[in-house]
Structure 1
Amino acid sequence: MTNRSPAVLITGAATGIGAACATAFARAGWRVGVCTLPDTRAEADAVVAACQAIGQDALVVEVDVTDDASCRAAAAAFENHMGQLDGLVNCAGTTRFIPHGDLEALPSSEFGRTNNVNVLGTFQMIRACRAGLERSGRGAIVNYSSIAGISGVGSSVAYAASKGAVSTLTISMARALAPHIRVNAIAPGYVAGGLPSRVLETEALAAVEAKYLETQPLKRLLTPVEVAELTIFLIAGPPGITGEIIRMDNGLHLNG
C-alpha cells in the first residue's frame, strides 16, 4: 500500500447513484475511475470533470461488465493509471418494468439480459479486481442489491431474482475473499434519480414515486447522494464489517 490517496473503481458511474458515488468519493479524498459504456461516454466525461474540479484524479474507464475480457482490461487499466486499487463499487445495473403476474411478458432473453448485467457483471468485476484489491491491503467492495431482492417486489421478477442473487453473491464473496478483501452490499428501496428515472416515461415515473411516498413509513424518497454516503462508509469505514446486506428503504420493509 502506498501513501497516495486511495483509488476506487465504480461501475455504472456515468449517471444516477454511480455518478453520485464518484463525486462523493472525490470529495472524500479518493481518486476515481468512472466506468461507462460508450453510449454514456459524454455523461461519464462530465462526472470525471466534476471530480477533477474537486481536486482529485479521475478518469473514464469504458467497460462492458457482461464481457470478462473487458472487465479484466478495465481493472488493469485503472490500476496501471492510479498505481493501486483500493475499492470497487458495483453499481452497473439494468431493468425493465414488467408486471410480476404477467409471466408471458417476461421472455427468457430478458431474464438472461438482466441476470448477465446485474449478477454476472458483478461477479466478473470482482474477479477482475481481486488481485489489485488484495495488493491494496485495505481492499473493499460494495455491491448494489435491492429491497426487491429481499422482498420479491420491484420492476420485474427478473430484476428481483437478480438482486436476490447479488445478495447471495455478496455473502459468498465475503467468505471467499477474506481476510484480504471486505465485501458488503446495499439494498436500496426506490431512489429518486436512480434507474427507474431512466427507463420510465414521466407519467409512469410520477405514479411510482407517489406510490412509494404513500407506502413507505418515512414519507420521503431516497436520493443518490444518500446511497453514496453509505457506500463510502462501507468502503472506507470500520474494518470489521463484511458479508452484510444493508437495507436502505425509508422503512418499506417494515410493511411486511
Structure 2
Amino acid sequence: MQMLEGHVVLVTGGGSGLGLGVARHCLSEGAELAILEYDPTKGLALKEEFGDRVLVCQGDVRSVEDLQACRAAIIDRFGRLTALIGAQGIFDGMVPLTETPVDRIDALFDEVFSINVKGYILTARVFADLLREERGAIVLTCSTAAYAADGGGLFYTASKGAVRSLTNQLGFELAPHIRVNAVAPSGIANSQLRGPAALGMENSKQSDIPKETFSEGFQATALMGLPTPEEYGPLYAYLASRHNAIMTGQTVLADQGVLNRAVISAAGTGGIPASH
C-alpha cells in the first residue's frame, strides 16, 4: 500500500524547490494532490508537468480570499482534504542587522513574516474544518535556523523560530483531531528561496550561489551529502499520512548531521593532542 493512498493533500508553495519535490513525492505515494502556487509562470509549468492529475491553484498564502478560492476548488474537485503541507517561504539575503538600512526594516520584517509565518497561520485557519473532518494533518516547514545561528539572517531566523513555536501551539490547540508537525531542513540542493523585495533582492535565489561553493560550504559542517528536494519528500509524506498516529506538536530536525558536531575539525585545527 502506498503511503498516501486515500489521502487528499494540499501543498502550498509547491511550484519549485522544496515544495515541488515534496509534491512530486506525495503524488508518487498515491495522493490526490492540489498545489497552491503564487507565481503564475510556475503554475503553468505545474500544469504542463502534471496535466489533469493535479489541481493547480494560483494564489497568495497572505490572501484570505485566495485561500478560500483554493478551498472551494478542492471541495469541488475532491470533496475533502486530508493533509496540508506548508512549503512556501522567503529568504532574507543574510544581510546583518547593522548593514540593513533602518528605513527598510519595517518592510523587510513584514515581507518575511507575512510569507513565512502569517501564511501558515491563515492557511491553517482556512482549512482547519476540512482537516478536522478527516482527522488529518498539517506539516509546516521550519529550518535548522530555528535552532542555531548562521542559518540565515536575523529576519529569516526569527521567522523560522516562530514557525517552530507555531507548530507547538497548533499541535496543542488542534489535538486530537488534527496532527500538526514541522520539518526543519538544513541545506537543499537547487533551493529556490528568493530574496526579499524590501532589499531589492526579489530576483535573487539561494540557487544563484555557485553549486560547488554552496556544496563545499555545506559539507564543511554536514555529516551527509546535500539532499535534493525530493529526498525530503518521504519525511513530509509520513507526517502528513495516517501512518503517523503518535506525533503532534513536534519539529523534526532533518539536518544531515549539521547540528551533531562541534566546529574544531571544520575549522582545520586538527583537534587537541592527547596528553601523555
Fold conserved between structures, TM > 0.5: yes
CA separation in 1, counterparts of 2:49 and 2:75?
19
Q: Alpha-carbon deviations, 1:84-136, whole Å to 9, x = none? A: 10000000111131333544256321121010000000111011110100111
Residue matched to 1:35: 36
Q: Specify the SS of the correspondent of 2:6.
A: coil
CA separation in 1, counterparts of 2:92 and 2:49?
25
Asked if the contact 1:6/1:84 (under 8 Å) is kept, the reply is no
CA distance 1:144–1:203, change in 2 (3 Å): closer
**In the TM superposition, what are the counterparts of 1:13-32 in structure 2 within 5 Å?**
13-32=14-33
Residue matched to 2:111: 113
Quote how far apart the aligned CAs of 1:209 are: 2.5
**In the TM superposition, what are the counterparts of 1:105-254 in structure 2 within 5 Å?**
105=101, 107-137=105-135, 139-196=136-193, 199-200=205-206, 202-204=208-210, 206-218=212-224, 220-236=225-241, 237-254=243-260
In structure 1, list runs of 5 or more residues that go unmatched: none
Q: Specify the SS of the correspondent of 1:151.
A: coil
CA separation in 2, counterparts of 1:255 and 1:242?
27
Residue matched to 1:66: 62
The structure with the largest helix share of the pair is: 1
Quote how far apart the aligned CAs of 1:240 are: 1.2
Of the candidates 33, 46, 50, which is equivalent to residue 44 of structure 1? Answer: 46
Quote how far apart the aligned CAs of 1:47 are: 4.2
Residue matched to 1:92: 88
Asked if the contact 1:184/1:234 (under 8 Å) is kept, the reply is yes
CA distance 1:154–1:46, change in 2 (3 Å): farther
Q: Specify the SS of the correspondent of 1:208.
A: helix
Asked if the contact 2:223/2:257 (under 8 Å) is kept, the reply is yes
CA distance 1:136–1:203, change in 2 (3 Å): closer
CA distance 1:41–1:152, change in 2 (3 Å): same
CA separation in 1, counterparts of 2:29 and 2:75?
19
Asked if the contact 2:146/2:164 (under 8 Å) is kept, the reply is yes
Quote how far apart the aligned CAs of 1:196 are: 4.8
Q: Alpha-carbon deviations, 1:172-215, whole Å to 9, x = none? A: 00000011100000000011022358614645554232211122
TM-score w.r.t. the length of structure 2 is 0.82
How many residues align? The count is: 245
Which of 141-150 and 39-48 deviates more? 39-48
RMSD over aligned CA atoms reads: 2.0
